[in-house]
């Protein structure tokens, strides 16, 4: 009886020890599983967060911002528009290539967006070429983008006020290789002049129907309506116009500027002979020039809308070499 009791006691102790060991093992396994599940959840959260960020960047569309800033040189708030390409982020530290665009006489900064359909054109060209650039649309009033003797100092305002503000605010490159300046009509005149006078800032210039008359016809109403070249009591001084003409800055330093020029031989506002003459002088200075002479249409938006796709494609290529 005693032996049986002793045997039962041993069995009871063994069972108690075995049960405790199993419970300990189960607790250990349970803790391990919980820890593993917790790690899996964290990884899962990180993956989901990364996916959301990627999708957000992929869905960032191009946009146009219209804004203004105070120009100390012009003594006024100065309007502008800026096109930011798809995928652009203000958080990016890279400096973007940039095209500065100048409108024509009697126009304003958003003309190329309103009448030239530039946002859609730029989207299409960038999607096709897989290249990107920022485009700044400048408000040049009727200034011809020059410093007037008795009036607006537009040239200084662009160089000293606008460029630094745009470069800082929109992360734009200051490297001349990544800077192009372009325009239509009066803006083409301005772009030609800026690129040749400031070759350290601009590697390329793109012009459509540039207003590069050798002499503005006496009958042209611009003589009475625009005071950009006012001098010695004359509302439009031919002498002042010649002094500031873009070809005055043709020299060894400016011969490294590349040009795109497009016009139509049917233009009655700026006859093609003047554009031919301007291009010939560029070539004589050994500048690289892509010159397109079209036929049909005239000096206006019907023609410019046909030329703008070539213009933007060329510019993108220049800025993304």
Quote the CA–CA distance of 289 and 255 in Å, as a whole number.
10
Strand duo 76-84 + 63-71: pairing = antiparallel
Quote the CA–CA distance of 196 and 192 in Å, as a whole number.
6
Q: Which of 75-84, 90-99, 254-263 bottoms out in mean pLDDT, i.e. has the lowest? A: 90-99
| Domain ranges (residues) in the chain | 63-319
pLDDT at 134 over 80: yes
Quick: pLDDT tens for 146-180. 999 989 999 999 999 999 999 999 999 999 999 99
Quick: pLDDT tens for 48-89. 333 332 323 335 799 999 999 999 999 999 999 999 999 999
Q: What is the pLDDT of residue 59?
A: 52
Residue found by looking up tokens 């009697």 in the block: 106
* CA–CA distances in Å: residue 241 to residues 84, 189, 231, 273: 35, 11, 10, 18
Q: 63-319: CATH homologous superfamily?
A: Alpha/Beta hydrolase fold, catalytic domain (3.40.50.1820)
Quick: pLDDT tens for 193-221. 999 999 999 999 999 999 999 999 999 99
Q: What is the pLDDT of residue 22?
A: 41
Lateral strand order in the sheet of 179-184: 63-71, 76-84, 134-138, 98-102, 179-184, 204-208, 258-264, 289-294
Contact 181, 102 (CB under 8 A): yes
Residue found by looking up tokens 């040239």 in the block: 155
Measuring CA to CA, which residue among 227, 231, 247, 249 is closest to residue 239? 231
Quote the CA–CA distance of 312 and 302 in Å, as a whole number.
17
Q: Which residues pair with 181 in a beta bridge?
A: 100, 205
Q: Which of 1-5, 35-39, 249-253, 292-296 bottoms out in mean pLDDT, i.e. has the lowest? A: 35-39
pTM exceeds 0.85, yes or no: no
How many helices, marked H, and strands, marked E, lie in the chain?
Answer: 10, 8
Rounded mean pLDDT, 247-266: 98
- List the structure tokens of 299: 């000096």
Which uninterrupted H or E stretch holds 99?
A: strand 98-102
Quote the CA–CA distance of 191 and 209 in Å, as a whole number.
12
Average pLDDT value for the chain = 86
Residue found by looking up tokens 């330093």 in the block: 253
Measuring CA to CA, which residue among 140, 120, 225 is closest to residue 191? 140
3-state SS class at 227:
coil
Pinpoint the alpha helices (H) of 107-237.
Answer: 111-114, 118-129, 154-156, 163-169, 186-197, 222-225
Contact 103, 109 (CB under 8 A): yes
Quote the CA–CA distance of 54 and 41 in Å, as a whole number.
20
Rounded mean pLDDT, 119-126: 97
Residue found by looking up tokens 């239509």 in the block: 184
Contact 246, 193 (CB under 8 A): yes
- List the structure tokens of 84: 């930011």
Q: What is the pLDDT of residue 93?
A: 79
Q: How many CB atoms lie within 10 A of CB 8?
A: 10
Quote the CA–CA distance of 248 and 24 in Å, as a whole number.
93
Length of the chain in terms of residues written: 321
The pLDDT > 90 percentage for the chain reads 77
């Amino acid at each position: 009886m005693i032996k049986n009791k002793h045997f039962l006691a041993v069995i009871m102790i063994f069972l108690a020890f075995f049960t405790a060991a199993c419970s300990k093992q189960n607790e250990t396994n349970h803790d391990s599983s919980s820890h593993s599940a917790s790690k899996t959840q964290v990884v899962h959260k990180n993956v989901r967060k990364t996916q959301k960020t990627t999708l957000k960047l992929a869905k960032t569309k191009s946009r146009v911002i219209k804004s203004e800033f105070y120009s100390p040189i012009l003594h006024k708030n100065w309007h502008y528009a800026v096109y930011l390409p798809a995928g652009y982020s203000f958080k990016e530290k890279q400096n973007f290539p940039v095209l500065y665009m100048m409108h024509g006489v009697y126009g304003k900064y958003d003309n190329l967006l309103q009448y030239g359909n530039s946002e859609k054109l730029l989207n299409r060209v960038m999607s096709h070429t897989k290249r990107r650039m920022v485009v700044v649309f400048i408000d040049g009033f009727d200034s011809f983008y020059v410093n007037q003797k008795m009036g607006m100092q537009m040239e200084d305002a662009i160089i000293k006020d606008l460029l630094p503000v745009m470069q800082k605010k929109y992360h734009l490159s200051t490297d001349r290789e990544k800077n192009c300046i372009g325009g239509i009509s009066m803006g083409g005149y301005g772009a030609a002049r800026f690129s040749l006078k400031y070759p350290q800032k601009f590697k390329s210039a793109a012009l459509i129907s540039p207003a590069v008359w050798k002499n503005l016809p006496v009958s042209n109403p611009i003589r009475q309506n625009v005071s950009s070249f006012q001098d010695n009591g004359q509302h439009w001084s031919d002498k002042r116009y010649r002094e500031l003409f873009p070809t005055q800055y043709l020299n060894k330093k400016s011969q490294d500027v590349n040009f795109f020029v497009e016009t139509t031989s049917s233009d009655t506002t700026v006859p093609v002979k003047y554009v031919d003459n301007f291009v010939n002088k560029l070539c004589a200075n050994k500048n690289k020039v892509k010159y397109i002479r079209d036929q049909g249409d005239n000096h206006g938006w019907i023609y410019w809308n046909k030329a703008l796709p070539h213009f933007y494609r060329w510019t993108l290529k220049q800025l993304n070499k």
